[in-house]
Every structure is written in C-alpha cells, then in structure tokens.
Structure 1
Amino acid sequence: MLAGEIPTWIGEIYNMHYLNFRGNKFHGSIPQEICNLTYIQVLDLSINNLSSIIPDCFSNLTVMARKNSQFPNPGPSISTVIISQNAEENKRYGYSSFQWKGHEWEYKQNLKFLKLIDFSSNRLTGSIPRSFSYMKGLNSLDLSRNSLTGNIIEDIGKMEMLNSLDLSYNQLSGKIPTSLAEIYSLGVLDLSNNNLSGKIPTSTQLQSFNASVYAGNDGLCGDPLPRCPGNRLRPPTTNHPRENTNEKDDNVGLSFMQEVGISIAFGFIFGFWGVIGTFMLKKSWRIAFFNSFDAIGDWFYVRIVVSLSKWRHN
C-alpha cells in the first residue's frame, strides 16, 4: 500500500541485485537514478500508477548486459529490496516471487540466474528506450498494459538471451522488426492489442506462435494470421489459393463461351433470317431458288436412271 514517488536515493544502493516494488501505489516517473544500479538483476515496478516516459539509460546495467549468469561479488551490502504484495512471506521463507511467462513463480536458489525487468500495468508513455538493446543477458521483459507509442526498437534482436517478451496492450505502431526473428531463445511472445502493421517477418521462430500472440493488430498479416493481400511468394498452407485459381480459370472459360454463343446467335440472325427474309420480300428470287432446286432434282433423277440401266445391262 506504499504511495508517493519512487525516491531518487534508491539509485545510491549501488550493490542491489533485486528490487521488487510490485503491486503498490507508487506514482510519478521512474527516476533516472535507477540506472545507477549496475548490479541489478531483477527490477519489478509492475502494478503501480507510474507515468511519464521510461528513462533511456539501461546501457548502464552491466550485469544485464552480460549473457552469462556470473557477476562480480559486490561485497557485503544490501542486495535485495522486496516491497511487494508477498513481502511478509518472502521475508519469512527467504525467497521471492516474480511474474515469469505470464505466471507467478517462486525463486529460491535459482534466483541468481534470473534477469528480469517488469514495468507492466502502469501508465507509462513514450517509446521503448533504445538502450534496452544493450541488455544482451536479459531473460524477461514485460512492458504490457501501458500507453507506450512508437515502434518496437529495430535492434531488439541484440537481446540474445530473451526468453519472454510481452508488449501487449499498448499503442505501438509500425512493423515487427526482422531482428526479432533472430532471438532463438524466445519461448513466450505477446504483441497483441497494439497498432502494428505489415507482414510478420518470415521465420520458423515467429510463425510457430499462436495467432493470438498477434491478435488485435488490424494491420498485421502473414503466418500465422491470414496472408497479406497480393502476397504471391508465401507458400500456400491450404488449398484455397489453388481453388481461387480454378475459379479464375472457370471465369475465363465462361467468358469465352459467352462470346461464342453471342457470335452464333448473330450469325443465325444475319445468315438464316437474312436469306429467308430476302426470299419473302422478292418473289423473283423465290421462284429462281425453287426452279434451281427442281433442276438439281431432275439432274439427280436422270443420273440415277442412267446408272441403273447400265447396271442391268451388265
């Protein structure tokens, strides 16, 4: 139930490893001095009323910048501050609990291997600090449920050890950086309910996630969402593209048959009715036409009689 602003003197506890202010009523901004905690491994400020922008100074967090889990021993000093909803339980049993992959996890001996930043469920604004890309050893980053704007940082792929990334329920825009596909350790991802657009980068890593990971971004397309309009290069995953091709071929064939039918109709009208109409209007043509038929019939009759006579005599 602590309120007020996070004090700037917190940055003077240089040897701190774990700072958990989760679930209080802190307001105001995240102090710039927090980046003086060069040994910090867990920084949890989630579920408060913090506002303003996130300070762009995380390149100073040297322990989080290292991919291995080893860090220098700072000597005897305060290393952990836990002011959270479970503070009494943490103090009694000697462990801490943090949000990890969307669930509450308790850490005892393995706490030293965890590197985590959680600023979720506040009222933070502005863009994601570019200095986040320096934290190559960070395991989990949760900035969800804020009011962050701008693009996802292009160099996010430099966070090579990132296993969990949650940027959901913000106002982020632009394309998903292609470098995100280079984080092969990424096991949990949530980019839902933003204003992201464009094609999801093609990679086995990003396409393996469920479509719900990208839901609520009307401008996004590509696997596992519906394919992008005009995208002819993406291999078909269903039979729909072939069915559409057949339908198009059928339409072309139908158009050709219509043209043939129209041609036949006009030919019949101008050919047949042209001749019959002329015979009906001109009596002399009609008489000449039937006389020619009589002459042809007489010629055939004579030829048949002559042929039969020759056959009998032979």
Structure 2
Amino acid sequence: MDRLQTLALNGNALQGSIPIKFEALTDLKVLALSGNELTGGLKEIYTLTRLEELYLSYNSFEDRLSNGSFQQLTNLKVIDMKNNNISGPLPDSLWQLMNLEVIDFHHNELDGHINDVIVPDHPLKYLDVSSNILGGGLPPSISNLQALTHLDVSYNRFNAKLPNYLATMTKMKTLLLTEDDEFGPQPLPDWLRGMTDLKQVSFRLTSRTGTIPTWFGELTKLELLDLEWNHISGTVPTQLSQLRSLKYLMLNRNKMTGEIPYEVSSLPRLKMLMVDNNSFTGELSLPVVPATGGQQCPSRVTHVVADCGNPDYGCPDCDSSTKKIACPCCTGCCYENQERCNMDDWLIEYRYCI
C-alpha cells in the first residue's frame, strides 16, 4: 500500500512496536495510532517526509529524542505525543519546521532545556510540554511565536524567573504556568494586560507576590483565573466583577484580607470559588435562587470553599472563634491550623477540558 495517505488505528489494543515496513509508506500524510499499547522507538517514522499529522498519544513509546529528531518531516503540521515515556530534549529541529502548528508532549519524561533557537515567524499556535522534567527557563526566542494561542509549561523544573519577553505574544488564549515555583518571586506581570484574548490563566504555585491589579477587570474574556498557593496580599478588587464570563476563580492559599465583594461572588457564570487559607472576613454571599420552602444556593456553583470553620464539614474542634468568614453556600469549610484542607489540584480536573 505504498500510495496510502491516511492510516488511522486509534483506540484499539495494538501491541508491539511500529513495524520497520512503515518506512515504505512514503505517501503517508496522516498517521494516527493513539490510544493503543505500543512500545519501542520512533525511528521508523522519521523517513515519512510527506507526513503532515502525527498522532501517537496514550501509548508506551519509550524513545529518547535528540535535538535532530523529526528534522526530515518538513511538512509536519501536528505532532501529538502526549502520555508516553518519551525522554530526551524537546528537539531543536521542531523550531525549523515552518509548517508546524501544534506540539503536544505533555506527560512524558522530557529533560534538558527549551533552547534559544526558535526561528522568527514560526507558525506554532499550540505548545504543551507540561508534566515533564524540563529545566532552565523560557528562552528569549519564544517571543518569535507570535501566532501562539496556547502555552502550557506546567509541572516542570524550571529554575529561572518568568521573563518579560512574553509581552509580545498578544494572541494568547490559554497560559498555564502551574507549579513552576522558581518562576518567582515576582508580582503578577504587567504584560498580561496586553493579552486581551486570554480565557484561561494559571499562576498556581509560581511564587507570585504583591496584589491583584485592578486592570485584571479588563481581561473580560477570562473563564479561569487560578492564583492559588502564592504570596499575594491585599483585597479582592471589585473590578473582577467585570469578568462576566468567569467560571473558575481560585484565590486560596494566599495572604489576602478584607471582605469578598458580592459583585465578584455573584458573577453570573461562576462555578468554582476557592478563597480558603487567607484572612478574609465578613460573609461570602452567593445569589440565592427561589426554591420550594425558601431559597437555595445556585446549582451551577459546584465548589465553594472558604475559612468558615463549620463543624458540619468535618471540623470537630470548630466553634464561633474558628469561623473567620460566614459562608452559607460553601461546599467545604477550612479553619486555621487545618494544614491539609482543600489540597486538591483543581487544575488537573479541568485543564484537559479547555
């Protein structure tokens, strides 16, 4: 079948490795083998020079890449290698492939650095290298990715502060930097203000300091704002009430004070609100809805956690002194010195639904 252009065998129970005879499929443009039980290496695909789309995710490939891997695949538009056992560097050769729009290597074992070799005007739109063991930092030439709309470098081992040269990437819609705590200590960057198309942004556990700027209210397309587990102080700006599309707001495990504005907690699309492990006071109010026999909390709000110290939520030592904030609609309550309250990484739950 040397004229075959598309081979799609996703979601079966195929085992073994890619056969050496695949090298004869010289007209192949789409190779889709995701969701199988394949092992071994990738060298059999490196000669498929007409390949445009490569889907090998959710297998057990265990090749070790080099900086020259994939360099012959100059027509490649999509490379999806997520959820394998691939090690080695993120190949430098990918930045020479001028048709490439999607790179997804999340949940592998990539090490080394993202090297400063990204060429100008590279057309990449989607880059996900999360859940690897990459070090170093984000190189200056990453600003050459002017078409990029999705960047996820979460859960790595970067050891350099977050650079300012991301400021030019104004088409960004998803920016996930979760659990790269060596990206700080730094305040929330001013260059976010220019990313007016942002829908999802996570700075969870990235050593953010300072306060939440009032101009966050200008990012009106935001659906997810995750600032959990930082060193952010000050109050919740009422300007966040301008985020009418916001569904997920995580401010927990910071150093914030004051009352939570009702204009923010009553946003019309809000599903999740995490404000525990701060020093908020007053009452966290959500808009109640009519119900038989009275009023009830809105059903669209699935998770609300605050420092409400309510004994009805597994808090045996709680009393009036442990309740920092009143929260009649909370689905979970934390209290002071309860070290492991609300320790879930909520990003894991929703990040692949983006």
With the length of structure 1 as denominator, give the TM-score of the two structures: 0.51
Q: Which residue of 2 aligns with 1:50?
A: 158
State yes or no: 1:154 paired with 2:262. Answer: no
State yes or no: 1:214 paired with 2:272. Answer: no
Letter in 2 for 1:213: M
- RMSD over aligned Cα, in angstroms? 2.8
Aligned length: 180
In 2, are the aligned partners of 1:194 and 1:217 still within 8 Å (CA)? yes
Counting aligned pairs with the same residue, the percent is: 26
Secondary structure of 1:203 counterpart = helix
Letter in 1 for 2:212: I
Deviation at 1:7, TM superposition (A): 1.1
From 144, 150, 170, give the equivalent of 1:62.
170
In 1, are the aligned partners of 2:283 and 2:327 still within 8 Å (CA)? no
Q: Which residue of 1 aligns with 2:177?
A: 119
Deviation at 1:157, TM superposition (A): 1.0
Secondary structure of 2:118 counterpart = helix
Q: d(CA) in 2 for partners of 1:183 and 1:18?
A: 25
Q: Which residue of 1 aligns with 2:335?
A: none
Deviation at 1:52, TM superposition (A): 3.1
Secondary structure of 2:225 counterpart = strand
Q: Which residue of 2 aligns with 1:259?
A: none
Q: d(CA) in 2 for partners of 1:207 and 1:15?
A: 36
Q: d(CA) in 1 for partners of 2:283 and 2:190?
A: 27
Secondary structure of 2:212 counterpart = coil
Q: d(CA) in 1 for partners of 2:236 and 2:199?
A: 20
Letter in 1 for 2:146: T
From 251, 262, 285, give the equivalent of 1:202.
262
Deviation at 1:19, TM superposition (A): 0.9
Q: Which residue of 1 aligns with 2:141?
A: 33
Which segments of 5 or more consecutive residues in structure 1 lack a partner in the other structure? Answer: 65-114, 228-235, 239-314
Q: d(CA) in 2 for partners of 1:182 and 1:213?
A: 18
Of structures 1 and 2, the one scoring higher in RCO (CA 8 A, sep 6+) is 1
Deviation at 1:204, TM superposition (A): 5.5
Q: Which residue of 1 aligns with 2:246?
A: 186
Which segments of 5 or more consecutive residues in structure 2 lack a partner in the other structure? Answer: 1-108, 286-305, 309-325, 329-354
Q: Which residue of 2 aligns with 1:287?
A: none
Q: Which residue of 1 aligns with 2:62?
A: none
Change (3 A) 1:34 1:181: same
Letter in 2 for 1:117: L
From 123, 132, 146, give the equivalent of 1:24.
132
Q: d(CA) in 2 for partners of 1:160 and 1:129?
A: 17
Q: Please give the per-residue CA displacement for 1:39-73, whole angstroms capped at 9, x wherever unaligned.
A: 10110101101133222344412323xxxxxxxxx
In 2, are the aligned partners of 1:133 and 1:157 still within 8 Å (CA)? no
Q: Which residue of 2 aligns with 1:263?
A: none
In 1, are the aligned partners of 2:258 and 2:279 still within 8 Å (CA)? no
In 2, are the aligned partners of 1:214 and 1:220 still within 8 Å (CA)? no
With the length of structure 2 as denominator, give the TM-score of the two structures: 0.46
In 2, are the aligned partners of 1:197 and 1:217 still within 8 Å (CA)? yes
Q: Which residue of 1 aligns with 2:189?
A: 129
